[in-house]
Amino acid sequence: MKLVILDGYAANPGDIDLAAWNTLCDSTGSSIEIEIHARTSPEELMGRARDAELLLTNKTLLMADALQRLPRLRYIGVLATGYNVVDTDEARHRDIVVTNIPAYSTASVAQVVFAHLLHHTHHVAEHSRAVHDGRWQTADDFCFWDYPLVELAGQTMGIVGLGHTGQATARIAQAMGMHVMAWSGKSAETLAGMGITKAESLEQLFRAADVVSLHCPLTPETRHIIRRETLAWMKPSAILINTGRGPLVCEQDLADALRDGRLHAAGVDVLTEEPPRQGSPLIGLENCSITPHVAWATLQARQRLWQIALGNVQAFLAGRPVNVV
């Protein structure tokens, strides 16, 4: 039996020991052949996947046309939480089990929400740079600041989508003294037990929030949930954070709002095109911080990812698959 990891580099550029994977055996006790590739282009896919019974992918697409040409394939493990890189309908039709990695990066992503938020409320990097440039040494007073400094306590954090990461974000916001409102399918009673106010509509949340943080899945209904119409509901002083999926935001509409002063700031870890080969209207805006899709990528989160991925494969080989999508 052969297992092929199509694009392992992003999740393990060399700082994680994968020796435990060499202990994998099939139902007869025979060792499984493992082949690991840093990246796989569309042109390389069939040559690498043709003989595999088990495939692991992060961002390499496994759509219907590819699955139809892989008759030996029995299992696909997605090295991420989102699994839109796999045609799950075609996989189901072919009795191919597909699993994902749930909740491995919850704490890391929530942490980056506040990294962006604190960047826009205290401008630590800019003020540190000013000190290193000699500004403090020559200041007339004992302190100086170049940007308005904003206290988060007492402000309202609006969270769109209250899954694992949304809840972790809510807990941090509450610890900082913020009120939390959420747009979620959970009942008002459930949210009240978490100290969270349930928004009756997106409009209510957007109008009330000083900070909006996106944690909903990308679906046809949530694509461009941030657009000109919904941005018009938000306070000019508000801050938008997106660590979810790039297409939740219409980037041109957001860029226009930031440039025109209709929104104070934005922090994003994701863009519609990744890498942004064609650019993005958000790149170059001083009031938009952008990180290159790294919220998930702490060492601890990536270690959990590989541990869960190994457990998924072991469970499948034992005939009791888990985390099936």
Q: Which of 33, 35, 200, 274 is catalytic?
A: 274
* Concatenated DSSP letters of 111-149: HHHHHHHHHHHH-HHHHHHHHHTTTTTT-SSS---SS--
Q: What is the pLDDT of residue 278?
A: 95
Task: Print pLDDT tens along the chain (325 aa).
Answer: 999 999 999 999 999 999 999 999 988 899 999 999 999 999 999 999 999 999 999 999 999 999 999 999 999 999 999 899 999 999 999 999 999 999 999 999 999 999 999 999 999 999 999 999 999 999 999 999 999 999 999 999 999 999 999 999 999 999 999 999 999 999 999 999 999 999 999 999 999 999 999 999 999 999 999 999 999 999 999 999 999 999 999 999 999 999 999 999 999 999 999 999 999 999 999 999 999 999 999 999 999 999 999 999 999 999 999 999 9
Q: What is the pLDDT of residue 228?
A: 98
Told to judge if 245 belongs to the known catalytic residues of this protein, a careful annotator would answer yes
Told to judge if 286 belongs to the known catalytic residues of this protein, a careful annotator would answer no
Residues 6 or more apart in contact with residue 226 via CB below 8 angstroms: 214, 240, 242, 248, 249, 250, 253, 254
Side chain identity, residue 37 = H
Q: Which of 120, 179, 245, 264 is catalytic?
A: 245
Residue 114 dihedral angles phi and psi, to the nearest 5°: -80, -20
Q: Which residue has the tokens 């994680």?
A: 16
Told to judge if 251 belongs to the known catalytic residues of this protein, a careful annotator would answer no
Q: What is the pLDDT of residue 260?
A: 98
Packing angle of the helix pair 106-122, 124-132 (nearest 10 deg): 60
Give the other-Cβ count within 10 Å of 247's Cβ: 17
Side chain identity, residue 224 = H
- Which domains are delineated in the chain? 2-104+299-317 (3.40.50.720), 106-290 (3.40.50.720)
